[in-house]
Amino acid sequence: MIDNYNRKIKHIRFSITSKCQYSCLYCDREGYSRTNELTVEEITKLCKILAEVLNVTRIKFTGGEPLCREEIAQIIQNVSDLQLYKDISMTTNGLLLLEKAEELYKAGLNRINVSLASLQPEVYKKIYGSDSLKTVLKGLQKAKEVGFNPIKLNFVLMKGINDNELEDLINFCAKNGFVLQLIELHKVSDAVGRNGDFYEKYHLDVKPIIEELESRADKIIVRGSMQNRKVFTLPNSAVIETITPSHEFCMGCTKLRVGCDGNLFGCLFRSDLGKNIKGALRNHHSLSKYEHIVKQVVDSREPYY
């Protein structure tokens, strides 16, 4: 299905809970909802509908923190059993990876993104509000051991907090075979938006960093199917993806989002344009009815930047 800006929907980003153990400085509150979360059965049914309506084979589960959902392994297993998705992934803070990585892998989860904005315990605690860096690092190693590949680390760059750690993270990823996702702070998130001074104080323009990476890289590609992200491979084998908010970024967006309450929407920053499908799921409509609902949401998509 293609939107009005000729962008084809190629993958789903599905929040399964608004719960989280962390209080991140820059939180987007992506899965936040004032209503009840979808049941496991509703999640499974909606995943099947979206795969059939949109002809997509990629899905990423998020939160809040998805590992806070008690039935997370069952959700992964159910979606894997549909045999409609070739790529099932998850974004997590990593706190529960040590105990759940093996179960998730066996259930059918293919790969993970883990938020890791610092390798220094005190800085980590300042950013996430949790003194749990050691546990997360152990979880990363466990995930690697059980077979997750690739493992990507989400590194949100903040001036005066962790901007001196970029090289450390690059080397850490090179050593462990992880992919570093360098993310520029944006001012639209719920946490940052409530405090205008936060963005001005901590935002760092990553353009000079990208230019420097370009000069160092052995290989550069642009992920046109993923928001036109530049990906650099350095001489030490480190792989770095860059995520910067811009019009070009938006024009490369191919996601359809699902909130934990069943709200379908086309942009993280315009969930108000969404359409809730929870009631329709309970009414057992024909596939064409669901396709009509999804198309309304896809037609509402427009570049934010």
Cα distance between residue 191 and residue 65, in whole Å: 16
Cα distance between residue 56 and residue 290, in whole Å: 15
Over the chain, what is the mean pLDDT?
90
Give me the helices (H) in the chain, please.
40-54, 72-81, 97-107, 121-128, 133-146, 166-176, 190-193, 196-202, 207-216, 247-251, 278-282, 287-299
Which of 108-117, 187-196, 198-207 has the weakest average pLDDT?
187-196
The answer to whether the beta carbons of residues 40 and 48 sit under 8 Å apart is no
The answer to whether the beta carbons of residues 260 and 38 sit under 8 Å apart is yes
pTM: 0.91
Q: What is the pLDDT of residues 27-78, one digit of tens each?
A: 766 655 556 899 999 999 999 999 999 999 999 999 999 999 999 999 999 9
Cα distance between residue 136 and residue 126, in whole Å: 15
- What residue spans define the domains of the chain? 11-299
Name the amino acid, one letter, at 133: L
Pick the CATH number of 11-299 from 3.20.20.70, 3.40.720.10, 3.40.50.150, 3.40.50.20: 3.20.20.70
